[in-house]
Amino acid sequence: MHSFVASTVVPVLALFKAQVTDSSFQQDIFYALATVCLLFIVGAIGLIDAGLVRRKNLLDTWVQKIVCALIAGGAMAIVGYAIWEIQYYNAFAIPNPVKQALKDWWLFGPDVTTFSQNLDPKLAPEADVFQIFLAFFMAYAAVGGALLHSAGLERVKAAPMFIICLVAGGLIIPIVLYLTWGSVSPLTNAGVHDYIGVYSLYIVVGVWALIIAMRAGPRIGAFATDPRTIGPVPHNLGWSAVGVTILMFAAPFAFLGCGFIIPDTGYFGISMTTSGFGIVLVNIFMSYIGGGLGGAIISYRTKNPIMGLIGVAAGYIGAGASLDIGKPWQILIVSFIASFVVYGVYLLLYRLRIDDKKIVPLALGGGIYGAIAGGVVGWGDKTGGYFGLTGKYALQNATINVGWQAIGVIVTVAIALVSGLVVILGLEKTIGLRVKDEEEVAGLDETYWGSPPPPYADTPHREGTVPGPLPGGGGRPVAGGVGVLQDKP
């Protein structure tokens, strides 16, 4: 998925037929579909959040989320993919590997701006496939931007959110990708294993989301009565259910894109672990079942449907580092436990009065659990390296174990924590993170777009019943202007 030697652009009329073989086009189609499915995941996240926010913030939630996803994906294209490519330039002993990788693969580099049939396959093998994989990385970063936006729902201003997604998608996620995701990355080649991006996507996003939620503070009415609002009550969980359904359809193809297709040899996970399409697909659905069943148990016990919906995501994130190497029964167990880990993190955040019911529990809690679980499931399996290389980069030269998985977590959390504090605290001290109280009460649709919600939305003067959030469950009457969520666990 990368040029292994410095690229040289040939005259535009030169045609290299080896770049346009049937095998190349088959891989093109596969990775193109995987990329499109990642974009469907962005839409699924949008639908989930659209159901969770109040009606007065619905339009702004969609607009901000789409823009955040586009900014993160665009930032990845500038230099992020080139940062990831450095690992292969190192492995293949390209002179000045950092400089050459950045020169070849940044947005204006020859490997990005030249048609594949005009690139010498001796210098840029399978160029078309690797160019499509750049688009895959852009979509990958777009998912990260959509998730980051979810951490500040209904209260964080647009401008700081856009800057956060720009830095995360263009620099921080690529750096962690370089370290942890790829068969000759520094940590992978020592024994760290990942598959869907548990380290680079979920743990990084989870740490940044925690900082955002803590610095922005809870939404008005989230933990205490406020006469101006009934609090952050989901306005339509049916939309969230549709989002989860789309996620379940899109994720399998997107995840299968996290690997190498080697013609006449087989399918390998991104860290060059021996794997197979069939087992990976079975494992993905096992993760849905395990996570979904665990979430359903929690939902019925608490009389609240939210964990029943996000339990599917908890399952595949919790099993995300082991989907390519685990046996189906192992994935079922790992994903089932993952729902309870995610719920436990939610309860901790609730006690700390940190207003995030979704991203930090799923991405940070589920991500760390998933990384460690990958070490348990894959303990002793071979990983790392690449075909045709010898020495420290020889194929499958490293061994998966819990120790290196934990080291990967520590390194990732440290990078995300330091960078997140610098960026988010810097924004807080300069342009500010949070909208004004009166703007939050009025709703961001009206604040940003002059589009007020229906008169019945989020009014504490309307008698009725609103559902209590996790972990309280159930509902409680709202009357006479005193609306407070049931927030006792």
Tens digit of pLDDT for each residue in 304-353?
888 999 999 999 999 999 999 999 999 999 999 999 999 999 999 999 99
Mean pLDDT of 196-216: 98
Question: Would residue 33 count as lying in a domain?
Answer: yes
Cβ–Cβ under 8 Å, residues 334 and 318: yes
Q: What is the H or E stretch that residue 175 is in?
A: helix 173-180
How sure is the predictor about 28, in pLDDT bands with cuts at 50, 70 and 90? confident
Mean pLDDT of 152-167: 97
Of the candidates 76, 215, 205, 78, the one whose C-alpha atom is nearest the C-alpha of residue 149 is: 205
**pLDDT on residue 14:** 62
**pLDDT on residue 397:** 95
Question: Would residue 489 count as lying in a domain?
Answer: no
Tell me whether residue 463 is exposed, middle or buried, using C-beta atoms within 10 angstroms of its C-beta: 0 to 12, 13 to 18, 19 or more. exposed
The answer, yes or no, to whether residue 484 has pLDDT greater than 50, is no
Mean pLDDT of 370-374: 98
Q: Count the Cβ atoms, other than its own, within 10 Å of residue 225.
A: 14
Report DSSP state, residue 458.
Answer: T
Cβ–Cβ under 8 Å, residues 381 and 399: yes
Cα gap 134→111, rounded to integer Å: 10
**pLDDT on residue 459:** 56
Question: Would residue 471 count as lying in a domain?
Answer: no
Domain that holds residue 119: 25-442
Question: Would residue 294 count as lying in a domain?
Answer: yes
217-233 pLDDT, tens digit per residue, is 999 999 988 888 888 88
The answer, yes or no, to whether residue 453 has pLDDT greater than 90, is no
Question: Would residue 407 count as lying in a domain?
Answer: yes
**pLDDT on residue 468:** 41
Question: Would residue 462 count as lying in a domain?
Answer: no
**What's the whole-model pTM score?**
0.90
Cα gap 467→475, rounded to integer Å: 4
Return mean pLDDT, the chain.
Answer: 89
The answer, yes or no, to whether residue 122 has pLDDT greater than 90, is no
Can you give the CATH number for the domain in which 401 is found? Answer: 1.10.3430.10
Higher pLDDT, 207 or 458: 207
Cα gap 337→339, rounded to integer Å: 6
Cβ–Cβ under 8 Å, residues 149 and 344: no
Of the candidates 5, 89, 87, the one whose C-alpha atom is nearest the C-alpha of residue 384 is: 87
Question: Would residue 488 count as lying in a domain?
Answer: no
Q: How many domains does the chain have?
A: 1
279-288 pLDDT, tens digit per residue, is 999 999 999 9
Question: Would residue 215 count as lying in a domain?
Answer: yes
Q: What is the H or E stretch that residue 99 is in?
A: helix 97-105
Amino acid in position 479: A
Q: Count the Cβ atoms, other than its own, within 10 Å of residue 235.
A: 20
Copy the structure tokens of residue 199.
């380290």
Mean pLDDT of 197-220: 97
The answer, yes or no, to whether residue 72 has pLDDT greater than 60, is yes
The answer, yes or no, to whether residue 12 has pLDDT greater than 70, is no
Cβ–Cβ under 8 Å, residues 129 and 24: yes
Q: What is the H or E stretch that residue 336 is in?
A: helix 328-351
**pLDDT on residue 457:** 60
